[in-house]
Structure 1
Amino acid sequence: MKNVKQYTSYALGAFGHDAFYATLSTYVMIFITSQVFDTADKAFNSRMIYLVSTMMVIIRIVEIAFDPLIGGAVDNTETRWGKFKPWLMIGAGISSVMLIILFTDFGGLTTSNPVLYLVLFGITYVILDIFYSFKDIAFWSMLPALSTDEGVRAKFGTIGRLGSTIGAQAVPIIIVPLVVWFSSLVGAKNGAENHTGWLGFAIVIGVVSFLGALATAAGTKENKSLIRSDTEKTSVIGIFKALGKNDQLMWLALSYFLFAMGYVVTNSLLLYYFTYVLGAAKQFTYAGWIMAVLGVISVSLFPVLVAKIHREAIYIGGIGMMIIGYLIFMFAGTDSTMVMIAIAVFFFPYPMIFLAALMTITDSVEYGQWKNGHRNESVTLAVRPLIDKLAGAFANGIVAFAAVQSGMIGSAKPSDISAHQLFIFKSFMFYAPIILIVLAAIVYFTKVKLTEDRHKQIVTELEQKLRAKQSSNKQ
C-alpha cells in the first residue's frame, strides 16, 4: 500500500499524543482530588482542590488566546526539516517532562507550604500548556501538508484517528493496573495506590508521547504542490483576520466546542462513577477495553460511511446515538452490565464525529485560501486543538466542582454519597452534556455548508487560478 510508512508513522505519533492528552485532561485532576489532597482536614482539601482547578482553567483560557499565534509561528517556520517537525519534537520533549512533574506533591509542599505549591504548580502547568500547544498544533496541522487529495487526506486523518483512539483508550485500560503495580514496588499492598504509583504511570505516558512524536518526525514527509506553494509569512493581525473571515471554520468551531464540552465532562467523570457510585474502580479497565475495541471499529468504518452518507450525516447521526447512550446510562444505576452497554453505545460514534469535524476543519484551509486569497495551514488547524483545550479547561473546573459538591473526593465510599449528592453528580455527568451536544448538532446542521463536494470544487478552482497566475508571470 502506498504511503504505508507515513501512515504508520503518523498513527504512532497520534497514539502517543492522545495518550498524553487523555492523561492531562482527565487523570491529572483525579490524581489531585484522590491523592494529593487527602488529609484529615476536609475543608483544606476542598479549598486547595478549588484553587488548583481554578488556576488550571484560568491558565488554559489565557493561553488559548495565544494558540493562533502559535499556529502563525509554525506557519512562518522554515527549516531543513520543514515547518512542523522541529516544533513537534521540542513540544513533545518539554511537555513530557512537565507532565511527570505535575504528578508529584513537589516534595511535600502540598502540606508544608501550600502557597509555594500553588506557585510551582502554576509555573509547571503554564510551561506544559505552551509546549503541548506547539506539539498539538504542529502534529494535526500536518494533515493538509501531507496531501491536498481528499481521499489521501481522509486516509491520513483516519489512520491518525485510529492511533489516537487506541492511545486515548489504552490509558483507562492500563491506568489502574499500572498505578497499583508501581505502588506495590514501594510497599503498597492489596491493590492500594500511592504517589509513587501515579508518578510511575506519568513517566510511562511521557516516554510514550515523546517516542510517538519521534516516529512521526522520522517517518512523514511534507507534500509539495502548486496550492501549498502559494504561501507567505503571516502577521499577527493577519492571523486573526484569516480566522475571523473563515465563516465555515468559525461555525464548525462553535459546534465542535459545544460537542467537545459535553463529551469531555462525561468522559472525565466516568472513573468517578466507577469509584464512588459503583464502588468498583477496577472494572474501569473493562470499560477501557470496550472503548478501545469499539474505537478501532468506529474509526475503521469511517472511510466507508463517509463515502456513502457523507460527513454531515455522520456528525449529526453520531450525536443522536450518543444521546441514546446517555439515556441508557441514566437508568443503569449500579447495574454493571447496563453501565457497560451504555458506555458502548455512548462511545462508539465519538471517533467518527471527531473525524468528521477534523476533515471539515482541514478542508477549511482551502476554503480560507479560496475566500481570502491566503493559505494558513497551522493557523487554521490550530482551531481544533484550541477548542479541545478550551473544553478541557472548563471540564477540569467542572469536574473538580462536581467532585467536591458530590462528596466524591479522597477516600469517600459509595455509601457516603447521599441521594442529593448523587443527583448533583448526574446533573453534571448526564443532563447538562445532553443539552450541549444537541445544540452542537443544531449549529452544524444549520450553519456548516463545507461539504466534500464543495471542497473538491474549491480545490479545482484554486488550481485553475494558480496555473493561470503562473502562466501570466512567465509571459
Structure 2
Amino acid sequence: MNQIKQYASYAFGAFGHDAFYATLSTYFPIFVTSVLFTSKSNSATMIGAVSAMLVVIRILEIAFDPMIGGVVDNTRTRWGKFKPWLLGGGLISAVALMLIFTSLGGLADQNDLVYLIVFAVIFIVLDVFYSFKDIALWSMLPALSVDSNTRTKFGTIARFGSTLGAQGVIIVVMPLVYFFSQKLSGTTGNGQTRAGWLGFAAVIALISFLGACTAAFGTHEQKNLIRENTEKTRLRDVFKAIGENDQLMWLGLSYFMFALGYVITNSLLLYYFRYVIGQPKAYSIVGVITAILGIVSVISFPFLVNLIKRRGVYIGGICMMLVGYLLFLFAGTNVPLVLLAIAIFFFPYPSVFLAALMTITDSVEYGQWKNGTRNESVTLAVRPLIDKLAGAFANGIVMLAALQSGMTGNAKPSDITSGGLLQFKMFMFYIPIILIILAAVVYAKKISLSEKRHAQIVDDLEKKLRAAKAAGQVIGDQDEPQTATPAQAKLTTANGLKTDH
C-alpha cells in the first residue's frame, strides 16, 4: 500500500479523533455550566451532580481499558484486529456525543433524577466505545512498523493531524455555536442555546466518524517475525503485562501528571477569556495561534529528537511551558500578552506528547524482551487510559473552578470577586505548575528506554526469535518443516535474554 496514503489516512483518523476528544473533555463542561441548567433554580446542584458523575464513571471505566486492550489484541478478523473497533467504536461514540449535548428529550428540565440516570447510561456507552476506538487507533502504531524511525514518522504525522483537530475545534467552536443558535433558535449576536451546542457537536461527531473510516480503510498492518510472536492475551495476564513493564509504569505516572496539568489549564482558557478578560470572541484567535504553532512543533519533532533525543524534548518542553505559565501570571487582562503566554505555553506540548507516545510505543518491544510476551494494544491502552483519567479529573476540577469562582451562566467579569479570581488562578495556574514539574522529575529519574536502547532490544529479539524458529524447523524436519509455536518462542525469548537495565 502506498506509504503516503497510509500517512495521510492515519493523520486524518487522528484529526477526527482529537477533535472528538477536545469537544468531550473541554467543551462539554462548558455546555453544562453555560446553557444546560441555566433556567433551573438548582443549577449549581445539577452541575455538581453531572461533574461528580463524569469523574466517577471515567475513573471506574478506566479499570476496563487494559481489558479492552486485551480484547483488541485477541481480535482476529480478515480485516485485522484494529479496523472493526475503529468503525464500530467510531459510529457509536459519535451518536452518543450528540445525545449528551441535548437535554435528553427535556429530562434535564422536567425530571432531575431520570435525566442523571439516562445521562449516566449514555455516557458509559460513549466512554466504552470511545475507548475501543481510541485504543485501536493508537495501538496500530507498533503494528505499522517495528522501526523507531518509521514509527516516529507515523507518530509525527498522526500528531500533526490530531493537533489540527484539537486546535481547529478552538477556532470553530464559538462561531458554530453562534451560527446554529441563530439558525435553529432564532437568536442574534452572541446568544448561545442548547440547539447551537448540539449543532456544533453534530459537526464534530461526523468529522470523527469519517476520520475513523479513513484510518480503517487507508492503513495496513505490517507482518513480521516479531509481531507473529504473539499469544492470546488472557484476562489475568492483562494487568500483569502492564505491571511488569517498569518503563511503561513510570512513563505512565509522569505523563498522567503532565496531561492533567495541561488539560486543566487548556480547559479553563475559554472561561478566562469570557469571565476574566470579557472578550469571548477573542478566544478563536487562540485556535489560530495554537494550530499554526502545533504544526511547527510537530514538524520540528523529528529534528529535535535527532538533536537532543526524546529525553531532551520531554524535559525541555516542560521547562518552556513553565515560562509560558510565568508570563501568563503577569499578563492579567492584556490580550496581546495573554496570547503570547498561550503561544509559549502551547508550542512544546505536541512534541512532549510525541516523546511520551514514542516511549510508550517502544515499551511494547521492551515488555516483549523483558517478559517474553508481546502485548500491542494492552501496552498502548495505557496512553488513552491516562488521557481519560486526566480528562475525568480535569472535568471535575473545571466545573468546581467555575462554581467556586462564580463563572457560570451569564456572569460578567465585573461579577467575579477578587476571592473568586484568586481561586480561579489556583486551579488554572498553580496546581498545573506543580503537576508538570513533578512530571519532569519522574521522567528524568526513572525513564531509561532511549532510542538507542530500543534498537538494541529489537535486534536482540530478532536474533532470539530467528534462533527459536530455526530450532523448531530442526525438530520437525523428520516429517515436514515447522516453526516454533508462540509458546516455544516465548519461552526461548524469556530464558535467553537479560532483563537488567
Q: TM-score, normalising length from structure 2?
A: 0.94
Cα shift at 1:2: 6.0
Cα distance between partner residues in 2 of 1:51 and 1:178: 28
The farther-off stretch of 113-122 and 439-448 is: 113-122
Q: Using the alignment, how far apart are the partners of 1:154 and 1:225 within structure 2?
A: 19
- Report what 2:494 is aligned to: none
Q: CA deviation at 1:11?
A: 0.3
The letter of the residue matching 1:109 is: L
Q: Deviations over 1:193-229 (max 9, x none)?
A: 1111100000000000000000011100000011000
Indicate the RMSD between aligned Cα atoms, in angstroms: 0.8
Unaligned 5+ residue runs, structure 1?
none
Q: CA deviation at 1:165?
A: 0.2
Moved more, 102-111 or 270-279: 102-111
Q: What's the counterpart of residue 195 of structure 2?
A: 196
Q: What residue is the counterpart of 1:455 in the other structure?
A: 454
- What's the offset of the Cα at 1:177? 0.5
- Do the aligned partners of residues 132 and 40 (structure 1) sit closer, same or farther apart at CA in structure 2, a change above 3 Å counting? closer
Counterparts of 1:47 and 1:148, CA distance in 2: 51
Q: Mapping of 1:76-475 within 5 angstroms?
A: 76-185=74-183, 186-475=185-474
Q: What one-letter code is carried by the residue in structure 2 that aligns with 1:152?
A: T
Residue 30 (structure 1) aligns with: 30
Q: For residues 147 and 300 of structure 2, what CA distance do their matches in structure 1 show?
A: 20
Shift of 1:113: 0.7
Code of the residue aligned with 1:156 in structure 2: it is: F
2:129 is paired with a residue whose SS is helix
TM-superposed CA distance for 1:110, in Å, is 1.4
Distance in 1 (alpha carbons) for counterparts of 2:471 and 2:134: 39
Q: Which amino acid aligns with 2:31?
A: F
- Determine helix, strand or coil for the equivalent of 2:449: coil
Displacement after TM superposition at 1:106 (Å): 1.2
**Following the alignment from structure 1 to structure 2, what is the Cα–Cα distance between the partners of residues 172 and 197?**
16
The AA in structure 2 aligned to 1:60 is R
Partner letter of residue 38 of structure 1? T
CA distance in 2 between counterparts of 1:191 and 1:421 reads: 25
Cα distance in 2 for partners of 1:216, 1:395 equals 29
Q: Post-superposition shift, 1:40?
A: 5.8
Q: CA shift at 1:23, angstroms?
A: 0.3
Q: How many Å apart are 1:107 and its aligned residue?
A: 2.0
Deviations 1:137-190 (A, max 9, x none): 000000000000111110000000000000000001000101101111131112
Q: CA deviation at 1:191?
A: 2.4
| SS of residue in 2 equivalent to 1:248 | helix
Q: d(CA) in 2 for partners of 1:300 and 1:320?
A: 20
Give the secondary-structure state (helix, strand or coil) at the position aligned to 1:107.
coil
* Structure with larger Rg: 2
- Identical columns (%): 63
Q: What amino acid does structure 1 have at the position aligned with 2:105?
A: G
CA contact (8 A) 2:40 2:109 kept: no
SS in 2 for 1:228: helix
Aligned to 1:3: 3
Letter in 1 for 2:457: I
Consecutive unaligned residues of structure 2, counting only runs of 5 or more, are: 475-501
Distance 1:111 1:144 in 2: 47
Contact kept? 2:17, 2:162, Cα under 8 Å: yes
Say which SS state the counterpart of residue 39 (structure 1) adopts: coil
Q: Post-superposition shift, 1:109?
A: 1.5
Aligned counterparts of 2:405 and 2:99: Cα–Cα separation in 1: 29
Q: Deviations over 1:56-111 (max 9, x none)?
A: 10000000000000000000000000000000100000000000000001122112
With 228-237 and 1-10 compared, the bigger mean Cα shift is at 1-10
Q: How many angstroms apart in 1 are the aligned matches of 2:224 and 2:120? A: 43
CA distance in 2: counterparts of 1:238 and 1:420, whole angstroms: 50
Q: Which amino acid aligns with 1:145?
A: A
